[in-house]
Amino acid sequence: MKNIVLPLMALCVFLTTAFIGTPAHAGDYDKISFSVGYFDVFDDEGAMDMRAEYRWADPLIWQIKPMAGIEYTSDGSGWVGTGLYYDYHFGNNFFLTPSLAVGLYNDGGGKDLGHVIEFRSQIEVGYEFENASSVSAGLSHISNASLDDENPGAEVLSLYYHMPVGMLFQNAQ
């Protein structure tokens, strides 16, 4: 399964460059985010990790915004959750995005993380294109925060592609 991660990451980069167009700013649009990565990157039990997230543009408080997502691994584990994120822009088109989410986890045939409730903390660094789509690399940690005696946790290294929701429908007319 490790052999498929690189081609999927290349596909994400291709999709990003294929949609470059109208100038905009990331903070102005709700975004749909897709990622592919490697689950449990620092352990031998690794698996391919795939995610889809919806990130709202309107802040709840200050510039902290809501998000919801689903995650699935090639060994059958899954997570669905919701949380908060913050986009910090620096330079012309670069950004740093920390996030924190809580969700429900099912280990399927994958790693047992010790509890059905799992927290995900993540940091991303990325680049935004002129049309408000972007790519980023993220490192996340999933853990039950000691809700159970067993709390092995897992780290995930991901490559994201983020696109404004409107881009899905601009060619449908």
Q: Where are the domains of the chain?
A: 2-18+28-165
In whole angstroms, give the CA distance from residue 156 to residue 147.
21
Nearest-angstrom CA–CA distance, 37 and 73: 9
Q: In the CATH scheme, what architecture does the domain 2-18+28-165 have?
A: Beta Barrel (2.40)
Beta bridge mates, 83 = 67, 101
CA pair distance 23, 133, nearest whole angstrom? 10
> 17 near 149, Cβ under 8 Å?
no
So what's the pLDDT on residue 84?
98
Quote the pTM value. 0.81
pLDDT tens-digit map of 82-129? 999 999 999 889 999 999 999 999 999 899 999 999 999 999 999 999
Query: Quick one: which of 121, 126, 137, 133 has its CA closest to 162?
Result: 133
Helix, strand or coil for residue 108? coil
Among 88, 85, 156, CA closest to 126:
88
Q: Each residue of 128-172: pLDDT tens digit? A: 999 999 999 999 999 999 999 989 999 999 999 999 998 877 655
Contact 38, 22 (CB under 8 A): no
Buried b (16+ CB within 10 A) or exposed e, 89-114: eeeeeebebebebebebebeebbebb
Given a cut of 70, is residue 7 above it in pLDDT? no
Q: Say which residues have a Cβ less than 8 Å from residue 128's Cβ, sequence separation at least 6.
A: 25, 26, 89, 93, 94, 95, 134
- Which residue in this structure is represented by tokens 């691994």? 73
